């Protein structure tokens, strides 16, 4: 039995596999109910026909093995650290990123609440296109001058968007004088729930929480 057919028929591996066949990258599949191997038609996504020309397969593209959780943690933390290194302000959020333990998740490092938007980036320029020039300039000035700011709600890709800035003027053991917290909220229309992004540098928000 050909290596590709063995892979497809193995119940412990996925039932589809990419190969190079007749000079093209093609996808094989195995229908477990009918016990048939097939190949997806050219230009199609789902429909195909039976396949048995195993000897003329030119190359097999096996899926890369899943990354270990430790490697996923390290890559995500490095992403946060790259963006935080561009910041011209400080905050507990930035300090947690700088001092993160690569062996732990973002959640266990106290950086995020552990959600599907962890590390998802939205740029300030992207928000600017929806919030309008006045709100954008007010937000930038609040960040620059370290003054409080809360925008009204604006349409953002079908959600209610809003921007906020909160400077810190006293030490409390966690915050320090001069710290700055700012963010972007993307909430469901007419609802206080949604997706929350913190400002990680002057041009970038990064996903941290879902409510």
pLDDT value of position 63: 85
Same domain, yes or no: 96 and 55 = no
Same domain, yes or no: 114 and 17 = no
**Residue 45: half-sphere exposure toward Cβ, Cα within 13 Å:** 0
pLDDT value of position 173: 86
pLDDT confidence bin for 90, thresholds 50/70/90: very high
Residue finishing a domain among 36, 61, 86? 61
Share of the chain above pLDDT 70, in %: 100
Average confidence (pLDDT) over 167-177: 91
pLDDT value of position 12: 83
Residue 99 near residue 92 (C-beta atoms within 8 A): no
Q: What is the mean pLDDT of the chain?
A: 94
Whether pLDDT at 117 is above 80: yes
pLDDT confidence bin for 165, thresholds 50/70/90: very high
Question: At 92, is the secondary structure helix, strand, or coil?
Answer: helix
pLDDT value of position 182: 98
Same domain, yes or no: 109 and 16 = no
Same domain, yes or no: 204 and 175 = yes
Q: What span, in angstroms and rounded, lies between the C-alpha atoms of 140 and 183?
A: 12
Domain membership of residue 173 as a residue range: 69-210
Same domain, yes or no: 108 and 176 = yes
In the chain, the number of structural domains is 2
DSSP string, 4-47: HHHHHH-TTS-SEEEEEETTEEEEEEEETTTTEEEEEPTT-SS-
- Segment 15-32, tens digit of pLDDT: 999 999 999 999 999 998
pLDDT value of position 34: 87
Rounded to 5°, the CA angle 158-159-163 comes to 135
Same domain, yes or no: 92 and 139 = yes
Same domain, yes or no: 205 and 144 = yes
Same domain, yes or no: 189 and 160 = yes
Same domain, yes or no: 118 and 21 = no
Whether pLDDT at 13 is above 90: no
- Segment 34-78, tens digit of pLDDT: 899 999 999 887 788 999 999 999 999 988 777 788 898 999 999
Average confidence (pLDDT) over 170-187: 94
Same domain, yes or no: 102 and 57 = no
Residue finishing a domain among 22, 37, 61? 61
Pair of tokens at residue 94: 């930035």
Same domain, yes or no: 24 and 86 = no
DSSP string, 102-170: TTS-TTTTTS----TTTT-EEEHHHHHHHH-HHHHHHHHHHHHHT--EE---EEETTEEEEEEEEE--S
Residue finishing a domain among 44, 61, 78? 61
Same domain, yes or no: 56 and 127 = no
Whether pLDDT at 121 is above 80: yes
Q: Please state whether the predicted TM-score (pTM) of the whole model is above 0.75.
A: no
Share of the chain above pLDDT 90, in %: 83
């Amino acid at each position: 039995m050909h290596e590709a057919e063995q892979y497809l028929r193995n119940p412990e591996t996925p039932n589809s596999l990419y190969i190079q066949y007749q000079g093209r990258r093609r996808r094989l599949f195995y229908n477990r109910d009918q016990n048939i191997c097939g190949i997806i038609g050219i230009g199609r996504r789902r429909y195909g026909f039976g396949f048995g020309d195993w000897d003329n397969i030119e190359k097999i593209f096996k899926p890369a093995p899943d990354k270990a959780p430790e490697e996923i943690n390290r890559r995500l933390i490095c992403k946060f650290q790259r963006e935080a290194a561009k910041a011209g302000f400080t905050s507990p959020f930035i300090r947690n990123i700088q001092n993160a333990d690569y062996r732990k998740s973002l959640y266990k490092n106290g950086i995020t609440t552990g959600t599907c938007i962890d590390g998802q980036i939205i740029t300030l320029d992207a928000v600017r296109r929806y919030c309008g020039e006045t709100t954008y300039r007010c937000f930038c000035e609040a960040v620059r001058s370290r003054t409080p700011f809360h925008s009204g709600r604006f349409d953002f890709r079908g959600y209610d968007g809003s921007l906020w800035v909160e400077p810190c003027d006293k030490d409390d053991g966690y915050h320090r004088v001069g710290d700055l917290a700012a963010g972007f909220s993307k909430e469901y229309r007419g609802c206080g729930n949604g997706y929350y992004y913190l400002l990680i540098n002057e041009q970038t928000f990064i996903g941290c929480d879902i409510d």
